[in-house]
């Protein structure tokens, strides 16, 4: 049984905040330029966002191996492996851009997914040594590190997108530097190697047994829906902004505002969870996501793009951090590798489907950017109903059965 120690938990939180700020800057950069770069290489416009979708699929495929690696060798080994995968992915993507190969560029995205998957485990690492009281604050604190990446990443797009003869090549070279330099922060992470299991030690529940627990099932559903819908809309937003007559710089600024909204509330999300309860915070996140879709469908003026994407980020923050906190509170240390790998595989599986759907809805629905943007946002509705229904079902259950 791992003992809690909030002094060490706070130290780890700051290390992971630094990792989120430095290494995390590659994600808004990749999500901004991935679809735009893909559109210059893809043989069909409907495939423009396929590289982003493959990044998310890569995250899903990497989740279980990385979780198993961390269960055997510790968090540091998994996080360094993720950074090396991110650097390798950016290197192969640079080769794809230089050679004009959509195939190579797409395959690179599967490697990039290794970093994206590793970043997803930062929030769980923050909870490892934390007490029950400090746990939601540690998780939200690490997520707040994304605030710096939200500023830094889009600025890198502006500085590097057209810095070389081959468009966007400079951006991917910058990602290599981010990964190789940023992974040095993990040297300060207090992450002891897990103790080997001995005969007779608790083995934990199976994946099926874990998903039968109502709290875990509802948390996985709400976390998956929150992340998938955020990705569905964010993936298409640069194409929608440019397609409606605005500039690439406008798209980068809107993504920057969106990512700021994703992470800025993390400074107080943990306190809100402690005060209101995790179920209410998840419900608030789902409501804000619905409001984002309503704003997006009301028009395509620049301010409507900004407001819709800001609300999208806020909704994701409350929904996803709430779901993460709920999962962290309902599994035991010996189940960590199984539960966290299972959760992120399901989450990124849902995000993969959303990302694939995003490009098709955006580019192949109605023949115009405005029609495609409306289709993307309309697609949010059934999944919000699913997650909201699951949360209501859980809230109506007797307390002793939750």
At 198, give phi and psi (nearest 5°).
Answer: -115, 160
Residue 180 maps to a domain? yes
Which pLDDT does position 201 carry in this prediction?
60
Residue 134 maps to a domain? yes
Which pLDDT does position 5 carry in this prediction?
65
Computed over every residue of the chain, the mean pLDDT equals: 87
Give 84 or 343, the one with higher predicted confidence: 84
Q: Which two tokens stand for residue 17?
A: 């905040």
Structural domain of 383 = 6-191+206-401
> pLDDT at residue 1 above 50?
no
Residue 282 maps to a domain? yes
Which pLDDT does position 281 carry in this prediction?
96
What tens digit of pLDDT does each residue of 314-353 get? 999 999 999 988 998 887 777 877 887 888 889 888 888 8
Which pLDDT does position 197 carry in this prediction?
58
> pLDDT at residue 198 above 60?
no
Which pLDDT does position 199 carry in this prediction?
55
What tens digit of pLDDT does each residue of 200-240 get? 566 778 888 898 999 999 999 999 999 999 989 988 898 89
Q: What is the 3-state secondary structure (H, E, C) of 5-29?
A: CHHHHHHHHHHHHHHHHHHHHHHHH
How many CB atoms neighbour CB 1 within 10 A? 9
pLDDT mean over 371-396: 94
pLDDT bin (cut points 50, 70, 90) of residue 4 is low
Tell me how many domains the chain contains. Answer: 1
pLDDT mean over 356-363: 80
Q: Identify the sign of the CA torsion 33, 62, 220, 280.
A: negative
Which pLDDT does position 202 carry in this prediction?
64
Window from 59-63, 91-95, 310-314 with minimum mean pLDDT? 59-63
Distance CA 17, CA 214 (A): 31
> pLDDT at residue 3 above 60?
no
Inter-helix orientation angle 26-41/214-243, to 10°: 50
Q: What is the CATH number of the domain that holds 49?
A: 1.20.1250.20
Residue 1 maps to a domain? no
Q: How far apart are the first and last CA of the chain?
A: 24
Which pLDDT does position 228 carry in this prediction?
93
Residue 342 maps to a domain? yes
Instruction: Choose the most confident range, by mean pLDDT, from 125-134, 157-166, 302-311, 340-349.
Output: 302-311
pLDDT mean over 132-147: 82
Residue 200 maps to a domain? no
The pLDDT > 90 percentage for the chain reads: 43
Window from 75-84, 276-285, 314-323, 333-342 with minimum mean pLDDT? 333-342
Helix spans in 183-247 (H):
207-212, 214-243
Instruction: Choose the most confident range, by mean pLDDT, from 245-249, 259-263, 370-374.
Output: 370-374
Residue 331 maps to a domain? yes
Residue 372 maps to a domain? yes
pLDDT mean over 39-43: 83
């Amino acid at each position: 049984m791992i003992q809690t120690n909030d002094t060490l938990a706070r130290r780890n939180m700051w290390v992971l905040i630094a990792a989120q700020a430095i290494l995390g800057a590659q994600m808004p950069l990749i999500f901004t330029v991935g679809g735009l770069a893909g559109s210059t290489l893809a043989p069909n416009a409907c495939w423009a966002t396929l590289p982003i979708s493959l990044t998310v699929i890569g995250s899903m495929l990497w989740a279980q191996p990385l979780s198993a690696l961390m269960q055997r060798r510790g968090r540091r080994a998994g996080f360094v492996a993720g950074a090396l995968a991110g650097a390798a992915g950016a290197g192969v993507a640079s080769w794809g851009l230089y050679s004009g190969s959509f195939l190579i560029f797409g395959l690179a995205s599967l490697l990039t997914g290794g970093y994206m998957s590793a970043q997803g485990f930062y929030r769980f690492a923050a909870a490892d040594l934390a007490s029950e009281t400090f746990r939601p604050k540690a998780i939200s604190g690490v997520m707040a590190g994304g605030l710096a990446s939200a500023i830094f990443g889009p600025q890198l797009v502006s500085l590097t997108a057209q810095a070389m003869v081959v468009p966007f090549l400079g951006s991917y070279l910058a990602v290599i530097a981010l990964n190789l330099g940023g992974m040095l922060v993990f040297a300060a992470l207090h992450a002891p190697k897990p103790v080997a299991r001995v005969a007779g030690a608790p083995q934990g529940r199976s994946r099926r047994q874990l998903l039968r627990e109502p709290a875990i099932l509802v948390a996985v559903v709400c976390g998956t829906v929150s992340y998938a819908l955020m990705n569905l809309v964010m993936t298409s937003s640069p194409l929608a902004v440019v397609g409606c007559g605005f500039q690439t710089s406008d798209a980068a600024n809107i993504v920057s505002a969106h990512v700021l909204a994703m992470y800025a509330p993390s400074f107080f999300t943990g306190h809100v969870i402690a005060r209101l309860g995790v179920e209410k915070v998840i419900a608030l996140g789902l409501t804000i996501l619905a409001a984002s879709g309503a704003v997006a469908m009301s028009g395509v003026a620049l301010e409507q793009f900004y407001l819709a994407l800001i609300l999208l980020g806020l909704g994701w923050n409350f929904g996803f951090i709430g779901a993460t906190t709920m999962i962290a509170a309902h599994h035991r240390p010996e189940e960590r590798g199984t539960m966290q790998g299972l959760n992120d595989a399901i989450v990124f599986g849902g995000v993969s489907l959303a990302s694939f759907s995003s490009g098709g809805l955006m580019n192949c629905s109605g023949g115009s950017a405005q029609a495609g943007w409306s289709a993307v946002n309309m697609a949010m509705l059934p999944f919000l109903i699913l997650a909201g229904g699951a949360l209501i079902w859980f809230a109506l259950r007797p307390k002793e059965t939750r």
